[in-house]
Structure 1
Protein backbone atom coordinates (compact mmCIF):
# COMPACT_ATOMS: atom_id res chain seq x y z
CA UNK A 1 0.00 0.00 0.00
CA UNK A 2 1.39 3.40 -0.98
CA UNK A 3 2.37 5.76 1.81
CA UNK A 4 1.23 9.37 1.79
CA UNK A 5 4.79 10.59 1.33
CA UNK A 6 4.93 8.70 -1.96
CA UNK A 7 1.99 10.51 -3.51
CA UNK A 8 2.93 12.79 -6.44
CA UNK A 9 0.74 15.49 -4.88
CA UNK A 10 1.78 18.77 -3.25
CA UNK A 11 1.80 18.87 0.55
CA UNK A 12 -0.27 21.67 2.02
CA UNK A 13 -1.73 21.92 5.52
CA UNK A 14 -3.36 19.43 7.84
CA UNK A 15 -6.29 20.05 10.19
CA UNK A 16 -7.07 17.69 13.09
CA UNK A 17 -10.84 17.82 13.43
CA UNK A 18 -12.82 17.51 16.65
CA UNK A 19 -13.96 14.02 15.58
CA UNK A 20 -10.35 12.81 15.35
CA UNK A 21 -10.01 12.81 11.56
CA UNK A 22 -7.17 14.68 9.90
CA UNK A 23 -7.92 16.40 6.61
CA UNK A 24 -5.40 17.78 4.14
CA UNK A 25 -5.94 20.99 2.18
CA UNK A 26 -4.04 23.54 0.13
CA UNK A 27 -4.37 27.16 1.27
CA UNK A 28 -3.41 29.45 -1.59
CA UNK A 29 -3.79 33.23 -1.78
CA UNK A 30 -5.56 35.92 0.21
CA UNK A 31 -8.93 37.61 -0.15
CA UNK A 32 -12.53 36.34 -0.34
CA UNK A 33 -12.56 32.60 0.27
CA UNK A 34 -13.37 29.91 -2.28
CA UNK A 35 -13.53 26.33 -0.97
CA UNK A 36 -12.84 23.75 -3.68
CA UNK A 37 -14.59 20.35 -3.37
CA UNK A 38 -13.45 17.64 -5.76
CA UNK A 39 -15.42 14.76 -7.21
CA UNK A 40 -15.36 11.06 -6.39
CA UNK A 41 -13.63 8.14 -8.05
CA UNK A 42 -10.47 6.10 -7.42
CA UNK A 43 -7.48 8.30 -6.67
CA UNK A 44 -9.29 11.65 -6.73
CA UNK A 45 -7.86 14.66 -4.89
CA UNK A 46 -8.32 18.41 -4.78
CA UNK A 47 -5.07 19.05 -6.64
CA UNK A 48 -5.80 16.54 -9.40
CA UNK A 49 -9.23 18.04 -10.00
CA UNK A 50 -8.36 21.72 -9.87
CA UNK A 51 -4.64 22.26 -10.55
CA UNK A 52 -5.45 24.23 -13.70
CA UNK A 53 -7.97 26.49 -12.02
CA UNK A 54 -7.16 27.74 -8.52
CA UNK A 55 -3.92 29.50 -9.61
CA UNK A 56 -6.05 31.86 -11.74
CA UNK A 57 -8.28 32.56 -8.73
CA UNK A 58 -5.18 33.26 -6.64
CA UNK A 59 -3.96 35.81 -9.20
CA UNK A 60 -7.42 37.41 -9.21
CA UNK A 61 -7.28 38.06 -5.45
CA UNK A 62 -9.07 35.08 -3.88
CA UNK A 63 -8.03 32.77 -1.07
CA UNK A 64 -8.38 29.15 -2.18
CA UNK A 65 -8.98 26.27 0.22
CA UNK A 66 -8.49 23.17 -1.95
CA UNK A 67 -9.74 20.25 0.12
CA UNK A 68 -8.90 16.57 0.03
CA UNK A 69 -12.20 15.08 1.21
CA UNK A 70 -12.01 12.26 3.78
CA UNK A 71 -11.20 9.05 1.95
CA UNK A 72 -9.25 10.91 -0.73
CA UNK A 73 -5.86 12.45 -1.44
CA UNK A 74 -3.71 13.00 1.64
CA UNK A 75 -6.65 13.08 4.06
CA UNK A 76 -7.54 10.27 6.48
CA UNK A 77 -9.37 7.31 4.97
CA UNK A 78 -11.26 5.52 7.75
CA UNK A 79 -12.49 2.02 6.94
CA UNK A 80 -15.24 1.99 9.59
CA UNK A 81 -17.57 4.82 8.53
CA UNK A 82 -20.40 5.35 6.07
CA UNK A 83 -19.29 7.75 3.35
CA UNK A 84 -22.75 9.24 2.89
CA UNK A 85 -23.57 12.87 2.19
CA UNK A 86 -24.10 13.71 5.86
CA UNK A 87 -20.59 12.41 6.65
CA UNK A 88 -18.99 14.67 4.06
CA UNK A 89 -21.10 17.71 5.02
CA UNK A 90 -20.33 17.26 8.72
CA UNK A 91 -16.60 16.96 8.07
CA UNK A 92 -16.61 20.02 5.83
CA UNK A 93 -18.25 22.01 8.62
CA UNK A 94 -15.69 20.75 11.13
CA UNK A 95 -12.86 21.69 8.76
CA UNK A 96 -14.17 25.22 8.18
CA UNK A 97 -14.66 25.65 11.93
CA UNK A 98 -11.12 24.41 12.55
CA UNK A 99 -9.46 26.82 10.12
CA UNK A 100 -11.68 29.79 11.00
CA UNK A 101 -13.73 30.12 7.81
CA UNK A 102 -17.12 31.62 8.69
CA UNK A 103 -18.37 32.40 5.17
CA UNK A 104 -17.19 31.37 1.73
CA UNK A 105 -18.06 30.42 -1.81
CA UNK A 106 -18.34 26.67 -2.28
CA UNK A 107 -17.08 25.34 -5.60
CA UNK A 108 -17.81 21.68 -6.25
CA UNK A 109 -17.54 19.13 -9.04
CA UNK A 110 -19.73 15.97 -9.12
CA UNK A 111 -19.68 14.58 -5.54
CA UNK A 112 -18.19 17.91 -4.46
CA UNK A 113 -21.17 19.69 -6.02
CA UNK A 114 -23.56 17.50 -4.03
CA UNK A 115 -21.62 18.30 -0.86
CA UNK A 116 -21.84 22.02 -1.67
CA UNK A 117 -25.61 21.73 -2.07
CA UNK A 118 -26.00 19.66 1.10
CA UNK A 119 -23.82 22.01 3.15
CA UNK A 120 -25.75 25.04 1.93
CA UNK A 121 -29.09 23.47 2.83
CA UNK A 122 -27.80 22.78 6.35
CA UNK A 123 -25.78 26.00 6.82
CA UNK A 124 -27.23 28.71 4.54
CA UNK A 125 -25.78 31.52 6.65
CA UNK A 126 -22.22 30.39 5.85
CA UNK A 127 -22.42 30.32 2.04
CA UNK A 128 -22.04 33.47 -0.07
CA UNK A 129 -22.47 31.69 -3.41
CA UNK A 130 -22.02 28.36 -5.14
CA UNK A 131 -20.17 27.29 -8.28
CA UNK A 132 -21.17 23.83 -9.45
CA UNK A 133 -19.82 21.57 -12.18
CA UNK A 134 -22.10 18.64 -13.07
CA UNK A 135 -23.10 18.29 -9.42
CA UNK A 136 -24.43 15.08 -7.95
CA UNK A 137 -27.45 14.99 -5.69
CA UNK A 138 -30.16 15.77 -8.26
CA UNK A 139 -30.89 12.21 -9.43
CA UNK A 140 -31.68 8.89 -7.81
CA UNK A 141 -28.71 6.58 -7.20
CA UNK A 142 -30.00 4.13 -9.82
CA UNK A 143 -29.82 6.82 -12.52
CA UNK A 144 -26.13 7.44 -11.90
CA UNK A 145 -25.32 3.74 -12.04
CA UNK A 146 -26.88 3.52 -15.50
CA UNK A 147 -24.32 6.02 -16.83
CA UNK A 148 -21.50 4.65 -19.02
CA UNK A 149 -18.76 6.28 -16.95
CA UNK A 150 -20.03 4.94 -13.63
CA UNK A 151 -20.41 1.45 -15.11
CA UNK A 152 -16.83 1.55 -16.42
CA UNK A 153 -15.50 2.80 -13.07
CA UNK A 154 -17.26 0.03 -11.13
CA UNK A 155 -16.09 -2.62 -13.61
CA UNK A 156 -12.43 -1.59 -13.62
CA UNK A 157 -12.27 -0.89 -9.88
CA UNK A 158 -13.70 -4.34 -9.19
CA UNK A 159 -10.84 -6.00 -11.07
CA UNK A 160 -8.30 -5.04 -8.42
CA UNK A 161 -5.63 -2.36 -7.88
CA UNK A 162 -5.73 0.32 -10.54
CA UNK A 163 -2.47 1.19 -12.22
CA UNK A 164 -1.96 3.97 -14.75
CA UNK A 165 -3.47 2.05 -17.66
CA UNK A 166 -6.51 0.94 -15.66
CA UNK A 167 -6.96 4.53 -14.55
CA UNK A 168 -6.79 5.62 -18.19
CA UNK A 169 -9.69 3.28 -19.05
CA UNK A 170 -11.90 5.13 -16.56
CA UNK A 171 -10.57 8.67 -16.89
CA UNK A 172 -10.85 8.65 -20.70
CA UNK A 173 -14.63 8.82 -20.21
CA UNK A 174 -14.35 11.95 -18.06
CA UNK A 175 -13.53 14.05 -21.12
CA UNK A 176 -15.10 14.50 -24.53
CA UNK A 177 -11.55 14.58 -25.90
CA UNK A 178 -9.49 12.00 -23.97
CA UNK A 179 -6.41 13.34 -25.72
CA UNK A 180 -6.36 16.03 -23.04
CA UNK A 181 -5.62 13.43 -20.36
CA UNK A 182 -2.15 13.98 -18.97
CA UNK A 183 -0.04 11.05 -17.78
CA UNK A 184 0.83 13.03 -14.67
CA UNK A 185 -2.85 13.11 -13.70
CA UNK A 186 -3.17 9.36 -14.18
CA UNK A 187 -0.03 8.79 -12.10
CA UNK A 188 -1.36 11.00 -9.30
CA UNK A 189 -4.61 9.08 -9.11
CA UNK A 190 -3.03 5.65 -9.52
CA UNK A 191 -0.75 6.36 -6.55
CA UNK A 192 -3.65 7.31 -4.26
CA UNK A 193 -6.20 4.69 -5.34
CA UNK A 194 -4.62 1.66 -3.55
CA UNK A 195 -4.81 3.51 -0.21
CA UNK A 196 -8.58 4.03 -0.40
CA UNK A 197 -10.78 1.63 1.60
CA UNK A 198 -13.48 -0.43 -0.13
CA UNK A 199 -16.20 1.10 2.05
CA UNK A 200 -15.50 4.50 0.51
CA UNK A 201 -17.46 3.52 -2.59
CA UNK A 202 -19.80 0.84 -1.25
CA UNK A 203 -21.25 3.20 1.38
CA UNK A 204 -21.27 6.39 -0.72
CA UNK A 205 -24.93 7.40 -0.63
CA UNK A 206 -26.12 10.80 -1.86
CA UNK A 207 -29.84 11.63 -1.71
CA UNK A 208 -31.76 13.38 -4.46
CA UNK A 209 -32.06 16.98 -3.21
CA UNK A 210 -34.06 18.35 -6.14
CA UNK A 211 -37.19 19.01 -4.09
CA UNK A 212 -35.20 21.11 -1.58
CA UNK A 213 -33.36 23.30 -4.07
CA UNK A 214 -35.97 26.06 -3.68
CA UNK A 215 -34.57 26.61 -0.17
CA UNK A 216 -31.22 27.81 -1.55
CA UNK A 217 -31.32 31.57 -2.06
CA UNK A 218 -27.55 32.04 -2.50
CA UNK A 219 -26.48 32.75 -6.11
CA UNK A 220 -25.60 29.60 -8.02
CA UNK A 221 -23.45 29.53 -11.14
CA UNK A 222 -22.97 26.19 -12.81
CA UNK A 223 -21.53 24.30 -15.76
CA UNK A 224 -22.51 21.10 -17.49
CA UNK A 225 -21.22 19.32 -20.57
CA UNK A 226 -23.78 17.80 -22.91
CA UNK A 227 -21.46 14.82 -23.42
CA UNK A 228 -21.19 14.02 -19.70
CA UNK A 229 -21.05 10.23 -19.26
CA UNK A 230 -21.11 10.26 -15.45
CA UNK A 231 -23.93 12.68 -14.53
CA UNK A 232 -26.84 13.27 -16.95
CA UNK A 233 -26.81 16.82 -18.26
CA UNK A 234 -30.58 17.04 -17.74
CA UNK A 235 -29.68 17.86 -14.13
CA UNK A 236 -29.01 21.40 -15.36
CA UNK A 237 -32.72 22.03 -15.73
CA UNK A 238 -33.57 20.52 -12.36
CA UNK A 239 -31.37 23.12 -10.72
CA UNK A 240 -32.36 26.19 -12.74
CA UNK A 241 -36.06 25.33 -12.48
CA UNK A 242 -35.97 24.85 -8.70
CA UNK A 243 -33.23 27.07 -7.26
CA UNK A 244 -34.46 30.69 -7.42
CA UNK A 245 -31.08 32.29 -8.15
CA UNK A 246 -29.30 29.85 -10.46
CA UNK A 247 -27.84 30.05 -13.94
CA UNK A 248 -25.74 27.59 -15.95
CA UNK A 249 -23.36 27.50 -18.87
CA UNK A 250 -24.02 24.38 -20.95
CA UNK A 251 -21.26 23.31 -23.34
CA UNK A 252 -21.36 20.88 -26.23
CA UNK A 253 -18.35 18.67 -26.98
CA UNK A 254 -17.68 18.64 -23.25
CA UNK A 255 -17.71 15.78 -20.76
CA UNK A 256 -17.72 15.61 -16.97
CA UNK A 257 -14.70 17.85 -16.39
CA UNK A 258 -15.52 21.26 -17.82
CA UNK A 259 -12.80 22.84 -15.64
CA UNK A 260 -10.23 20.74 -17.52
CA UNK A 261 -11.65 20.66 -21.04
CA UNK A 262 -12.56 24.35 -21.11
CA UNK A 263 -10.12 25.66 -18.54
CA UNK A 264 -9.82 29.27 -19.70
CA UNK A 265 -13.56 29.71 -20.23
CA UNK A 266 -14.29 28.14 -16.84
CA UNK A 267 -11.79 30.32 -14.99
CA UNK A 268 -12.94 33.51 -16.73
CA UNK A 269 -16.67 32.96 -16.23
CA UNK A 270 -16.23 31.94 -12.59
CA UNK A 271 -14.19 35.04 -11.81
CA UNK A 272 -16.70 37.27 -13.59
CA UNK A 273 -19.45 35.69 -11.47
CA UNK A 274 -17.53 36.18 -8.22
CA UNK A 275 -16.78 39.82 -9.02
CA UNK A 276 -20.53 40.56 -9.13
CA UNK A 277 -20.71 40.46 -5.35
Structure 2
Protein backbone atom coordinates (compact mmCIF):
# COMPACT_ATOMS: atom_id res chain seq x y z
CA UNK A 1 0.00 0.00 0.00
CA UNK A 2 1.32 3.47 -0.87
CA UNK A 3 2.54 5.72 1.94
CA UNK A 4 0.16 8.34 0.52
CA UNK A 5 -2.91 6.08 0.71
CA UNK A 6 -4.56 6.05 4.15
CA UNK A 7 -5.15 2.54 5.43
CA UNK A 8 -8.23 3.53 7.42
CA UNK A 9 -11.37 4.32 5.46
CA UNK A 10 -14.22 4.96 7.91
CA UNK A 11 -15.22 6.31 11.30
CA UNK A 12 -17.70 5.14 13.91
CA UNK A 13 -18.79 6.31 17.33
CA UNK A 14 -18.20 3.82 20.12
CA UNK A 15 -19.15 4.62 23.71
CA UNK A 16 -19.44 8.28 22.81
CA UNK A 17 -16.05 8.66 21.09
CA UNK A 18 -15.05 8.55 17.43
CA UNK A 19 -12.69 5.86 16.20
CA UNK A 20 -11.09 5.72 12.75
CA UNK A 21 -11.12 2.18 11.38
CA UNK A 22 -11.11 -0.17 8.39
CA UNK A 23 -13.27 -3.28 8.10
CA UNK A 24 -12.83 -5.29 4.92
CA UNK A 25 -12.86 -8.86 3.71
CA UNK A 26 -14.88 -11.90 4.65
CA UNK A 27 -14.23 -14.92 6.78
CA UNK A 28 -12.89 -15.18 10.32
CA UNK A 29 -12.43 -11.73 11.85
CA UNK A 30 -8.87 -10.62 12.58
CA UNK A 31 -8.46 -7.47 14.69
CA UNK A 32 -5.17 -5.57 14.47
CA UNK A 33 -4.08 -3.38 17.39
CA UNK A 34 -1.14 -1.02 16.93
CA UNK A 35 1.41 0.22 19.45
CA UNK A 36 3.13 3.46 20.39
CA UNK A 37 4.58 5.83 19.24
CA UNK A 38 2.51 4.74 16.31
CA UNK A 39 -0.90 4.39 14.72
CA UNK A 40 -2.56 2.03 12.24
CA UNK A 41 -0.06 3.07 9.56
CA UNK A 42 2.25 0.35 10.86
CA UNK A 43 -0.10 -2.32 9.44
CA UNK A 44 -0.24 -0.91 5.88
CA UNK A 45 1.94 -3.68 4.38
CA UNK A 46 0.22 -6.44 6.36
CA UNK A 47 -3.55 -5.95 6.52
CA UNK A 48 -4.30 -5.98 2.75
CA UNK A 49 -2.58 -9.37 2.43
CA UNK A 50 -4.65 -10.85 5.27
CA UNK A 51 -7.81 -9.57 3.57
CA UNK A 52 -6.72 -11.17 0.32
CA UNK A 53 -6.07 -14.46 2.15
CA UNK A 54 -9.78 -14.75 2.96
CA UNK A 55 -10.15 -13.12 6.34
CA UNK A 56 -12.20 -10.19 7.62
CA UNK A 57 -9.55 -7.70 8.76
CA UNK A 58 -10.41 -4.93 11.21
CA UNK A 59 -7.80 -2.31 12.01
CA UNK A 60 -8.32 0.91 13.94
CA UNK A 61 -6.52 3.77 15.63
CA UNK A 62 -6.61 3.57 19.40
CA UNK A 63 -8.46 6.40 21.10
CA UNK A 64 -6.18 9.46 21.20
CA UNK A 65 -3.98 8.12 18.40
CA UNK A 66 -3.72 8.68 14.66
CA UNK A 67 -7.01 9.72 13.06
CA UNK A 68 -9.22 8.75 16.00
CA UNK A 69 -10.67 11.33 18.37
CA UNK A 70 -8.35 12.97 20.91
CA UNK A 71 -10.71 13.75 23.78
CA UNK A 72 -9.62 16.14 26.49
CA UNK A 73 -11.17 14.32 29.44
CA UNK A 74 -11.11 10.64 28.47
CA UNK A 75 -8.87 7.91 29.86
CA UNK A 76 -6.66 6.41 27.12
CA UNK A 77 -4.66 4.02 29.28
CA UNK A 78 -4.13 0.36 28.38
CA UNK A 79 -6.98 -0.60 30.72
CA UNK A 80 -9.37 1.91 29.14
CA UNK A 81 -8.36 0.86 25.61
CA UNK A 82 -9.13 -2.75 26.58
CA UNK A 83 -12.65 -1.82 27.65
CA UNK A 84 -13.13 0.16 24.45
CA UNK A 85 -12.03 -2.82 22.34
CA UNK A 86 -14.94 -4.84 23.73
CA UNK A 87 -17.34 -2.06 22.79
CA UNK A 88 -15.81 -1.77 19.31
CA UNK A 89 -16.35 -5.48 18.65
CA UNK A 90 -19.94 -5.14 19.87
CA UNK A 91 -20.50 -2.21 17.50
CA UNK A 92 -19.14 -4.24 14.59
CA UNK A 93 -21.19 -7.32 15.48
CA UNK A 94 -18.11 -9.46 16.16
CA UNK A 95 -18.64 -12.04 18.88
CA UNK A 96 -15.26 -13.77 18.55
CA UNK A 97 -12.08 -12.66 16.78
CA UNK A 98 -8.46 -13.45 16.19
CA UNK A 99 -6.29 -10.68 17.63
CA UNK A 100 -2.93 -9.54 16.27
CA UNK A 101 -1.43 -6.92 18.56
CA UNK A 102 1.84 -4.99 18.80
CA UNK A 103 3.66 -3.18 21.62
CA UNK A 104 1.09 -1.64 24.03
CA UNK A 105 -1.53 -3.10 21.72
CA UNK A 106 -0.10 -6.43 22.87
CA UNK A 107 -0.92 -5.50 26.45
CA UNK A 108 -4.45 -4.59 25.34
CA UNK A 109 -4.75 -7.93 23.56
CA UNK A 110 -3.47 -9.92 26.54
CA UNK A 111 -5.78 -8.13 28.98
CA UNK A 112 -8.75 -8.58 26.64
CA UNK A 113 -8.03 -12.30 26.22
CA UNK A 114 -7.87 -12.73 30.00
CA UNK A 115 -11.04 -10.73 30.65
CA UNK A 116 -13.03 -12.12 27.69
CA UNK A 117 -11.53 -15.55 26.88
CA UNK A 118 -14.58 -16.65 24.90
CA UNK A 119 -14.18 -13.73 22.50
CA UNK A 120 -10.60 -14.50 21.43
CA UNK A 121 -10.06 -17.35 18.99
CA UNK A 122 -6.31 -16.92 18.65
CA UNK A 123 -3.86 -14.28 19.91
CA UNK A 124 -0.62 -13.17 18.28
CA UNK A 125 1.47 -10.70 20.29
CA UNK A 126 4.22 -8.91 18.38
CA UNK A 127 6.97 -7.44 20.58
CA UNK A 128 4.41 -6.63 23.30
CA UNK A 129 5.15 -4.69 26.45
CA UNK A 130 4.99 -7.03 29.43
CA UNK A 131 5.79 -7.33 33.12
CA UNK A 132 8.06 -4.38 34.06
CA UNK A 133 9.52 -4.03 30.55
CA UNK A 134 8.24 -0.51 29.95
CA UNK A 135 8.75 2.34 29.61
CA UNK A 136 12.23 1.82 28.18
CA UNK A 137 15.17 3.77 29.61
CA UNK A 138 15.02 6.36 26.84
CA UNK A 139 11.30 6.90 27.38
CA UNK A 140 11.82 7.17 31.14
CA UNK A 141 14.29 9.97 30.48
CA UNK A 142 11.78 11.76 28.22
CA UNK A 143 9.08 11.41 30.86
CA UNK A 144 11.37 12.81 33.55
CA UNK A 145 12.53 15.73 31.42
CA UNK A 146 9.51 16.69 29.32
CA UNK A 147 6.20 15.39 30.67
CA UNK A 148 5.57 18.45 32.83
CA UNK A 149 6.72 21.03 30.28
CA UNK A 150 5.81 19.61 26.90
CA UNK A 151 3.31 22.37 26.08
CA UNK A 152 6.18 24.80 25.55
CA UNK A 153 8.21 22.45 23.34
CA UNK A 154 8.75 23.88 19.82
CA UNK A 155 7.70 21.66 16.91
CA UNK A 156 11.29 21.32 15.69
CA UNK A 157 12.47 20.06 19.08
CA UNK A 158 9.53 17.66 19.32
CA UNK A 159 10.19 16.28 15.83
CA UNK A 160 13.85 15.71 16.69
CA UNK A 161 12.93 13.92 19.94
CA UNK A 162 10.40 11.62 18.31
CA UNK A 163 12.63 10.96 15.31
CA UNK A 164 15.41 9.73 17.61
CA UNK A 165 12.97 7.38 19.28
CA UNK A 166 11.42 6.12 16.05
CA UNK A 167 14.81 5.26 14.60
CA UNK A 168 15.33 2.96 17.58
CA UNK A 169 12.33 0.89 16.49
CA UNK A 170 14.02 -0.65 13.45
CA UNK A 171 17.17 -2.71 12.99
CA UNK A 172 17.84 -0.94 9.69
CA UNK A 173 17.53 2.76 10.52
CA UNK A 174 17.46 3.67 6.83
CA UNK A 175 13.90 2.30 6.82
CA UNK A 176 12.78 5.01 9.24
CA UNK A 177 13.47 7.95 6.93
CA UNK A 178 11.69 9.85 4.18
CA UNK A 179 7.99 9.15 3.70
CA UNK A 180 7.91 6.40 6.32
CA UNK A 181 9.24 8.68 9.04
CA UNK A 182 6.93 11.49 7.94
CA UNK A 183 3.91 9.20 8.23
CA UNK A 184 4.73 8.40 11.85
CA UNK A 185 5.36 12.06 12.67
CA UNK A 186 2.27 13.36 10.84
CA UNK A 187 -0.33 12.95 13.64
CA UNK A 188 1.80 15.19 15.87
CA UNK A 189 2.55 18.02 13.44
CA UNK A 190 0.51 20.60 15.37
CA UNK A 191 0.19 21.98 18.89
CA UNK A 192 -2.80 19.69 19.43
CA UNK A 193 -0.82 16.74 18.08
CA UNK A 194 2.06 17.36 20.48
CA UNK A 195 -0.24 17.74 23.48
CA UNK A 196 -2.19 14.65 22.49
CA UNK A 197 1.01 12.63 22.14
CA UNK A 198 2.08 13.33 25.71
CA UNK A 199 -1.38 13.24 27.29
CA UNK A 200 -2.87 10.24 25.45
CA UNK A 201 0.26 8.15 24.94
CA UNK A 202 3.32 9.01 27.06
CA UNK A 203 1.39 9.80 30.24
CA UNK A 204 0.08 6.23 30.19
CA UNK A 205 3.44 4.49 29.77
CA UNK A 206 3.01 2.58 33.01
CA UNK A 207 3.98 -1.03 33.64
CA UNK A 208 1.26 -1.47 36.28
CA UNK A 209 -1.08 -2.48 33.44
CA UNK A 210 1.10 -5.47 32.58
CA UNK A 211 2.46 -6.30 36.02
CA UNK A 212 -1.05 -6.66 37.43
CA UNK A 213 -1.88 -9.44 34.93
CA UNK A 214 1.46 -11.29 35.11
CA UNK A 215 0.08 -13.80 37.60
CA UNK A 216 -2.90 -14.56 35.35
CA UNK A 217 -1.04 -15.41 32.14
CA UNK A 218 -1.32 -19.10 32.92
CA UNK A 219 -5.09 -18.80 32.50
CA UNK A 220 -4.83 -18.14 28.76
CA UNK A 221 -6.30 -21.16 27.01
CA UNK A 222 -6.51 -20.06 23.38
CA UNK A 223 -3.60 -20.56 20.93
CA UNK A 224 -0.98 -17.86 21.50
CA UNK A 225 1.98 -17.03 19.32
CA UNK A 226 4.64 -14.52 20.27
CA UNK A 227 6.57 -12.88 17.45
CA UNK A 228 9.69 -10.92 18.37
CA UNK A 229 12.41 -8.95 16.65
CA UNK A 230 15.77 -10.32 17.76
CA UNK A 231 17.27 -6.82 17.82
CA UNK A 232 14.41 -5.08 19.68
CA UNK A 233 16.05 -2.20 21.57
CA UNK A 234 12.97 -1.40 23.65
CA UNK A 235 11.68 -4.84 24.58
CA UNK A 236 14.65 -7.17 25.20
CA UNK A 237 14.37 -10.74 24.04
CA UNK A 238 14.43 -12.20 27.55
CA UNK A 239 10.90 -10.86 28.05
CA UNK A 240 9.77 -12.89 25.04
CA UNK A 241 11.17 -16.05 26.59
CA UNK A 242 9.55 -15.24 29.93
CA UNK A 243 6.16 -14.69 28.28
CA UNK A 244 6.35 -17.89 26.28
CA UNK A 245 7.18 -19.78 29.46
CA UNK A 246 4.31 -18.30 31.44
CA UNK A 247 1.59 -18.79 28.79
CA UNK A 248 0.60 -22.46 28.39
CA UNK A 249 1.43 -23.78 24.93
CA UNK A 250 2.61 -20.40 23.64
CA UNK A 251 4.86 -20.52 20.59
CA UNK A 252 7.77 -18.10 20.30
CA UNK A 253 9.18 -17.07 16.92
CA UNK A 254 12.23 -14.80 16.88
CA UNK A 255 12.91 -12.86 13.69
CA UNK A 256 16.61 -12.14 13.04
CA UNK A 257 17.81 -8.74 11.82
CA UNK A 258 14.60 -7.08 13.01
CA UNK A 259 13.74 -4.59 15.72
CA UNK A 260 10.69 -3.47 17.66
CA UNK A 261 8.70 -2.42 14.58
CA UNK A 262 8.77 -5.82 12.91
CA UNK A 263 6.26 -4.62 10.33
CA UNK A 264 8.85 -2.16 9.03
CA UNK A 265 11.90 -4.43 9.17
CA UNK A 266 10.26 -7.61 7.89
CA UNK A 267 6.69 -7.09 6.59
CA UNK A 268 6.73 -10.19 4.39
CA UNK A 269 7.76 -12.35 7.35
CA UNK A 270 5.01 -10.84 9.51
CA UNK A 271 2.40 -11.61 6.83
CA UNK A 272 3.72 -15.17 6.55
CA UNK A 273 3.64 -15.73 10.31
CA UNK A 274 0.14 -14.30 10.74
CA UNK A 275 -1.21 -16.30 7.81
CA UNK A 276 0.28 -19.53 9.08
CA UNK A 277 -1.04 -18.94 12.57
CA UNK A 278 -4.56 -18.17 11.37
CA UNK A 279 -4.71 -21.34 9.29
CA UNK A 280 -3.93 -23.54 12.26
CA UNK A 281 -6.84 -25.10 14.20
CA UNK A 282 -7.96 -23.23 17.29
CA UNK A 283 -8.71 -25.11 20.48
Q: Same fold (TM over 0.5)?
A: yes
Mapping of residues 173-184 of structure 1, within 5 Å:
173-184=168-179
Instruction: From 13, 16, 20, give the equivalent of 2:16.
Output: 20
Q: Of the candidates 155, 163, 166, which is equivalent to residue 168 of structure 1?
A: 163
| Partner Cα distance (1:87, 1:160) in 2 | 30
Q: 1:75 aligns with which of 68, 76, 79?
A: 68
Shift of 1:168: 2.8
Matched residue, 1:29: 25
> Residues 16 and 223 of structure 1: is their aligned pair in 2 closer, same or farther, counting only changes over 3 Å?
same
The answer on 1:240 being equivalent to 2:241 is: no
Are the counterparts in 2 of residues 8 and 188 from structure 1 also a CA contact under 8 Å? no
In structure 2, C-alpha distance between the alignment counterparts of 1:170 and 1:83, rounded to whole Å:
21
Q: What stretches of structure 1 move > 6 A for 4+ residues in a row?
A: none
- CA shift at 1:247, angstroms? 0.5
SS at match of 2:22: strand
Q: Is the 8 A contact 1:82 1:203 kept in 2?
A: no
Distance 1:156-1:182 versus aligned 2 partners, 3 A rule: farther
C-alpha distance in structure 2 between counterparts of 1:86 and 1:167, whole Å: 25
Distance verdict in 2 for CA 1:111–1:145, change over 3 Å:
closer
Match of 1:139 among 117, 127, 131: 131
Q: Deviations over 1:79-108 (max 9, x none)?
A: 223322220011111111011111111110
Determine the C-alpha separation between the residues in 1 that align with 2:20 and 2:52: 22
Check conservation: 1:8, 1:187, Cα contact below 8 A: no
Once residues 77 and 52 of structure 1 are traced to their aligned partners in structure 2, the CA distance between those partners, rounded to angstroms, is: 26
Match of 2:259 in 1: 255
TM-score (norm 1): 0.87
Shift of 1:65: 0.4
1:97 and 1:243, CA in 2 relative to 1: closer, same or farther beyond 3 A? same
- Deviation of 1:8 (Å): 7.2
Equivalent residue for 1:97, pick from 74, 86, 90:
90
Partner of 2:52: 59
- Partner in structure 1 of residue 199 of structure 2: 199
- TM-score for the superposition, normalised by structure 2: 0.85
Question: If each structure's helix is expressed as a fraction of its own residues, which one has the higher value?
Answer: 2
Q: State the alpha-carbon separation in 2 of the partners of residues 64 and 224 from structure 1.
A: 22
Show structure 2 runs of 5+ residues with no match. Answer: none
Alignment RMSD: 2.3
Unaligned runs of 5+ in 1: 1-6
Aligned positions, number: 263
- State the Cα distance separating 1:253 from its structure 2 match: 2.4
Asked whether the 8 Å contact 2:218–2:248 carries over to 1, the reply is: yes
The answer to whether the 8 A contact 2:134-2:205 is kept is no
Matched residues in 2 for 1:182 and 1:105: separation? 32
2:276 to 265, 272, 275: 272
